[in-house]
Amino acid sequence: MQPLFVSATGTNVGKTHTTLQLIKGFGEIGIRIGVFKPIETGVKGLPHDASLLLEACSKYNPAFASLTPIDTTAYTFALPAAPFCADTMHEISIDHILQKYHQLSNLCDLLLIEGAGGLMVPITKEYKMIDLAKDLNAKMLLVTPSRLGCINDTLLSMEALKNRNIHFEWCVNLYEDKISFEKVSQPFYDAVFPGWWNIQTGLNRFISGYSL
């Protein structure tokens, strides 16, 4: 199955929360699921997000149960910043990330790849998270917030994906400003994107359609 790259309009939008729900949903319909967190920053000890993803994945795929969180990442850095900034020793090699991707892909039917930050977060000086998604030939699930300003963030991210000809779906993580969202943002989505959905109510339908 074509890998699925989970990205967002920015940091703290809900990528890990969404990926955990995807692991559960795909796993419960019998898909041998795998996880890959290419880069995680702000790491002291074990990478937090990678640990959560691996714990969830191991329940559905024995091949991942023998791995450690470090095995499911290519790079971890202590500084909580964009990978390019966190990589103070300039260690990052895109080839190493791709090699790790192929290793993990061989252990599953569907690899879920969780990005860091938003689409335009720099991995190196000239290579961004969106470029990695493109090079992995992955489908994209763009997670957007429900807070004030989400329309602008959503449209900008969509424009970037379209410019690179990356197939994507998008959903709202309805966890911030939930009451005001219905008035300040939802009317635009209803008018322009009548099929829009949120992860709280639409994720199972997405999973079912993806697995066909």
- Is residue 83 within 8 A of residue 75, CB to CB? The reply is yes
Q: For residues 25 and 8, what is the distance between their CA atoms, to the nearest angstrom? A: 20
- Is residue 175 within 8 A of residue 146, CB to CB? The reply is yes
pLDDT digits (tens, 9 = 90+) for 132-154: 999 999 999 999 999 999 999 99
- Is residue 116 within 8 A of residue 144, CB to CB? The reply is no
What's the pLDDT score for residue 211?
A: 73
* Domains located in the chain, CATH noted: 6-210 (3.40.50.300)
Q: For residues 175 and 150, what is the distance between their CA atoms, to the nearest angstrom? A: 12
Q: If DSSP codes are grouped into helix, strand and coil, which group holds residue 168?
A: strand
DSSP 75: E
DSSP 196-209: --BHHHHHHHHHHH
pLDDT digits (tens, 9 = 90+) for 168-205: 999 999 999 989 999 999 999 999 999 999 999 999 99
15, 24, 37, 162: the catalytic one is 37
| Terminal alpha carbon distance of the chain | 10
Residue 37 is a catalytic residue:
yes
Q: For residues 79 and 59, what is the distance between their CA atoms, to the nearest angstrom? A: 31
pTM recorded for the entire structure: 0.96
